[in-house]
Amino acid sequence: MGRNAVREKGATPTKEADLYSWALRQAELLRAGRLSEIDPVAIAEEIDDMGEEEYHRLESALRVLMLHLLNWDHQPDRRSRSWTLTILEQRRRVERRLRRSPGLKSQLEEALAAAYEDARLEAAGEFRDLLYRHACEGAYGAPEYGGNRDVAGWAAIGFPGDAQPRGYTDEEVRGRA
């Protein structure tokens, strides 16, 4: 059956029950010029939703791009090939989305502002997690690695220390010295 043919058998699916089949049926009716049988309000809603989806895809690509750019700027020691590839990929997605839907350019400032706000909050959360991990390592790690001065962190939580007493060799601990 060609794209312009209209199927006559079976009940017309409702948008709520089967969006996919409903959309195909509406497209068939439009192509056949059977305008009295279409659901124009619902079709208009779906077209609006498609436009919103395009906007959200743009905003999402901008958010991922800005998140990685913020991390790139504020965590230079963690830069990786993966970050580089993600930045390049998201730039391509933004450019492609704007090329395919030039009307989104009028919404670009709004999308950038929303995406930046989300990216900043997400990056701040990642930074807090990183800061917390480093603070814990510094406070409770073994002193020979540069943290936990005078085992104060261990004393604060009642941890007796690791198996090897400080300042003793393996032989002294085993009683062989």
159 in any annotated domain: no
Which tokens hold the place of 32? 């056949």
- How many domains does one find in the chain? 2
Question: Looking at the structure, do residues 68 and 131 belong to the same domain, yes or no?
Answer: yes
Question: Looking at the structure, do residues 54 and 33 belong to the same domain, yes or no?
Answer: no
Model-level pTM greater than 0.75? Answer: no
Cα dist. 144→136, 140, 159, 166 in Å?
Answer: 15, 11, 16, 9
- pLDDT per residue rounded down to tens, the chain (177 residues): 455 455 555 677 888 899 999 999 999 999 999 999 999 999 999 999 999 999 999 999 999 999 999 999 988 888 999 999 999 999 999 999 999 999 999 999 999 999 999 999 998 887 788 788 888 888 888 887 778 888 888 888 888 777 655 667 777 777 765
What is the model's pLDDT at position 177?
54
Question: Looking at the structure, do residues 109 and 58 belong to the same domain, yes or no?
Answer: yes
Question: Looking at the structure, do residues 112 and 67 belong to the same domain, yes or no?
Answer: yes
Q: Which domain holds residue 130?
A: 50-144
Who's near 34: CB < 8 A, 6+ residues apart?
Answer: 6
